[in-house]
């Protein structure tokens, strides 16, 4: 009865009292106990708190009252603060840190009655595309445990795919909600930059980060999005609830998007999706985005630069574990040895591109390129309603397969541009490979165009 439940179906079952919130929670907790040892999805399960929240939800439901997420279990990525709970960002340097306040998105979910099941695994400080960079072990793909779940929100995507929760929250800096959603066969949204508050999120790249929902269907993602969106006085980058309509008639496909670095099976799946959309009456046209191919280059300068600034606070004095017993410099040095290799690599790159003599040659040029890419997207959206690409250049790869950082970074080929442009983007499952691995396609819309994503995404779901 409870397998493959959507948020909409759960809401109906709970409101009609066909199941209780406690029974629902028990179903998911049993799945977690059965699967988590192998998959390594949850770093911590809040069983006691979740049971109390579910009991309270049942009391409210008995009174005939309801709310969009009342009694529904939700998983939270380990870089999103929940007061009194550990938020380690999957790093040894924060393994003992307990949040002293709630992230705004957590407050919003709480007001709607969500039940917080636990915190999910991720790449350390959200730096990675495979969840192999976690200090607490890799999260395995529920479709094939020899393969990665994607990253950096790999735990959040795998939790939904493995029936451990019906929905979750992740964060997306360069594809970290969309790529693992594609790898795990679920739906993931990166909202317009500023649409969802970043208050209470452990920052990676402050001009790129966005909180995004992950669920089984586009409709479920839309339900979560409507709960967490909105202006927040604690985050001055948030914006008012301006929204475009959901009209999608013309779909743009970037010229040369499949020319290099894309597997044949991904190409075939993407072309099949385009054919299906054309058959449904959508007008699919080619769009020219000449600087799109440089988005990855700009991203891997801007993101490390912002990361190096954001992670400077973890010095053993203000935040984090404190290592060493000497003077400040020794404490800082010993403490920062606790960072993982990928985090150290990106801090070094970021510090280098911001250093005297190089900031003009690298960082400022990357910012100028970013502005050019934004302009090209804005120009393209004057002629098309949305832009369609594959979500990732390949299906989920094997654990340990991409030991070369440059090869790993190339996996962000299609997802990074939306973060660079600040545009909303949605990954929707688009089929299964011959080896049983999910495909995903990505829809990118103009700023404030989330409704366009949901509209087209629901059409693509019909082709599965």
User: At 316, is the pLDDT very low, low, confident or very high (cuts 50, 70, 90)?
Assistant: confident
List the end-to-end C-alpha distance of the chain, in Å, as a whole number. Answer: 22
Share of residues in the chain with pLDDT > 90 (%): 90
Q: Which position among 77, 108, 140, 452 bears the catalytic label? A: 77
CATH fold, domain 250-291+368-461, is: D-Maltodextrin-Binding Protein; domain 2 (3.40.190)
Q: Which position among 88, 134, 152, 182 bears the catalytic label? A: 152
Check if the beta carbon of residue 386 is closer than 8 Å to that of residue 251.
yes
Q: Is the pLDDT of residue 320 over 80?
A: no
Average pLDDT over residues 214-221: 98
Q: What is the pLDDT of residues 236-285, one digit of tens each?
A: 999 887 899 999 999 999 999 999 899 999 999 999 999 999 999 999 99
Q: What is the pLDDT of residues 146-167, one digit of tens each?
A: 999 999 999 999 999 999 999 9
Check if the beta carbon of residue 364 is closer than 8 Å to that of residue 414.
no
113 vs 122: CA distance, rounded Å:
25
176 is catalytic: yes
CATH number attached to the domain at 7-228 = 3.90.1300.10
216 vs 40: CA distance, rounded Å:
20
Common-topology check for domains 7-228 and 250-291+368-461? no
Q: Which position among 156, 176, 430, 455 bears the catalytic label? A: 176
Q: Where are the domains of the chain?
A: 7-228, 250-291+368-461, 297-360
Q: What is the pLDDT of residues 283-309, one digit of tens each?
A: 999 999 999 999 999 999 999 999 999
77 is catalytic: yes
């Amino acid at each position: 009865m409870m397998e493959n439940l959507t948020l909409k179906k759960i809401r109906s079952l709970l409101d009609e009292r066909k199941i209780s919130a406690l029974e629902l929670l028990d179903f998911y907790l049993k799945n977690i106990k059965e699967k988590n040892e192998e998959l390594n999805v949850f770093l911590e399960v809040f069983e006691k708190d979740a049971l109390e929240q579910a009991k309270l939800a049942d009391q409210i439901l008995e009174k005939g009252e309801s709310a969009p997420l009342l009694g529904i279990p939700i998983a939270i990525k380990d870089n999103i603060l929940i007061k009194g709970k550990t938020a380690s960002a999957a790093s040894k340097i924060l393994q003992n840190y307990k949040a002293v306040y709630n992230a705004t998105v957590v407050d919003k979910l709480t007001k709607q009655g969500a039940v917080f099941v636990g915190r999910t695994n991720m790449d350390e400080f959200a730096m990675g595309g495979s969840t192999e960079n976690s200090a607490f072990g890799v999260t395995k793909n529920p479709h094939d445990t020899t393969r990665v779940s994607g990253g950096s929100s790999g735990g959040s995507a795998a939790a939904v795919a493995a029936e451990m929760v019906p929905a979750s929250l992740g964060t997306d800096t360069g594809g970290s909600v969309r790529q693992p959603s594609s790898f795990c066969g679920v739906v993931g949204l990166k909202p317009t930059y500023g649409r969802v508050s970043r208050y209470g999120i452990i920052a990676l790249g402050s001009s790129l980060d966005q909180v995004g929902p992950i669920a089984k269907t586009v409709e479920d993602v839309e339900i979560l999005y409507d709960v967490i969106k909105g202006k927040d006085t604690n985050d001055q980058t948030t914006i008012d609830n301006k929204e475009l309509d959901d009209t999608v008639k013309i779909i743009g496909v970037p010229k040369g998007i499949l020319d290099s670095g894309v597997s044949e099976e991904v190409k075939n799946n993407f072309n099949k999706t385009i054919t299906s959309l054309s058959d449904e009456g959508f007008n699919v046209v080619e769009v020219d985005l000449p600087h799109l191919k440089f988005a990855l280059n700009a991203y891997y300068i801007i993101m490390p630069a912002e990361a190096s600034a954001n992670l400077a606070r973890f010095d053993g004095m203000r935040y984090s574990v404190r290592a060493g017993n000497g003077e400040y410099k020794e404490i800082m040095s010993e403490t920062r040895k606790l960072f993982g290799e990928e985090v150290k690599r990106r801090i070094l790159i970021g510090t280098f591109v911001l250093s005297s003599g190089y900031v003009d040659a690298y960082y400022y040029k990357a910012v100028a390129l970013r502005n050019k890419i934004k302009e090209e997207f804005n120009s393209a959206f004057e002629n098309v309603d949305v832009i369609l690409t594959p979500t990732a250049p390949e299906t989920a790869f094997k654990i340990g397969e991409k030991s070369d950082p440059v090869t790993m970074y190339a996996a962000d080929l299609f997802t990074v541009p939306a973060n660079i442009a600040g545009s909303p983007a949605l990954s929707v499952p688009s089929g299964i490979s011959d080896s049983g691995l999910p495909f995903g396609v990505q829809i990118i819309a103009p700023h404030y165009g989330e409704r366009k994503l949901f509209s087209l995404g629901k059409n693509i779901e019909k082709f599965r």
